[in-house]
Amino acid sequence: MIFFPRALALARKELLSCALSAASWGAAVFFLLFTSIWFFYVERFFAMDTASLRGYFAAFPLAFIFVIPAVTMKSWAEERKTGNIELLLTMPFSEWDLVLGKFAAVLASLAVMLVLTIPLPLSLLPFGDFDGGVIAAEYLGALLLAAAAAALGLLFSSLSKNQAGSFLGSAAALMTIMLINRLAANFVLPGAITALAGFVSLSFHFESFSRGVIDLRDIFFFVIVTFLFLYLDTRVLLYRRWK
């Protein structure tokens, strides 16, 4: 059974730990710099002469490949290294309490990073007639994408014995699940395989949001994927509880 007060108490503890973590601050700085450099120097916003932030948000899936593993790598791997996981598993927390507490803290940290990007769109408003609805859809898609990727990162953290293994494993998995649709497009593959690659790709389902389109199918996809990874995380904890 899930007791949300317990999950929230753990989330507050984890959020404080993230706030004091050099890795979290480094990930935030990297995220802001990478997305800005991508937008102005790779996408060349001012040369496009178009009032659109699509090129800016196109960098988010790429940045998340490195940012989210850096934020999630210590969540469970550090608990195993210090032995705190045995203590947590003996306390009156269900597996869902523990997983949701960790997940809420990580997602809150990522939401703060997204909030820190808002000054950039605001600073560009005088240069064009931007569509506020499109920008809102892009931020919604970014948050859903971050949630699914964070759930995957937490799963790899629970499977890893140390932070390095967690970072490398989740980064490799995220790179695959983010870019599999683009890789499939570069090869001559049967249509069914190409369609499957697009269906399982996180960045593919993010593309509609980057165009300002809120598709319920994409929302359901992100919600289901997030729940699936969190569920698998609870199964890993249950195994460790009874091992």
pLDDT computed for residue 226 by the predictor = 96
Nearest to 129 by CA among 208, 49, 214: 49
pTM of the full predicted structure? 0.88
Q: Into how many domains does the chain fold?
A: 1
Confidence (pLDDT) at 4: 63
For residue range 23-82, what is the model confidence (pLDDT) as tens digits?
788 999 999 999 999 888 887 776 676 778 888 898 999 999 999 999 988 877 777 766
Expressed as residue numbers, the domain containing 42 is 4-242
Q: Which residue has the tokens 């950039």?
A: 120
* C-alpha closest to that of 209 among 219, 200, 195: 219
